[in-house]
Amino acid sequence: MNVSLTKELMQLVQSKVASGMYNNASEFIREAIRNTDSNDKLLHELKLARLKEMLKPGLVEAREGVHADYDYEHLMRELDSRS
What pLDDT is stored for residue 8 in this prediction? 98
Q: Is residue 65 part of a domain?
A: yes
Q: Tell me: the pLDDT tens digits for 8-33?
A: 999 999 999 999 999 999 999 999 99
pLDDT of residue 70: 75
Compute the distance between CA of residue 3 and CA of residue 14 in angstroms, rounded to an integer: 15
Measured distance CA(34)–CA(40) in Å, rounded: 10
Residue 2 lies in a domain: no
Residue 58: the pLDDT is: 87
Domain hosting 57: range is 7-82
Q: How many CB atoms lie within 10 A of CB 13?
A: 18
Is 12 among the domain residues?
yes
Number of independent structural domains in the chain: 1
Whether 50 is covered by a domain: the verdict is yes
**Which one-letter DSSP state was computed for residue 19?**
T
* Residue 37 counted as domain residue: yes
The H or E element containing residue 72 is helix 72-82
73-79 mean pLDDT:
86
pTM of the model: 0.65
> In this structure, is residue 47 part of a structural domain?
yes
CA dihedral 65, 71, 77, 83 (to 10 degrees): 40
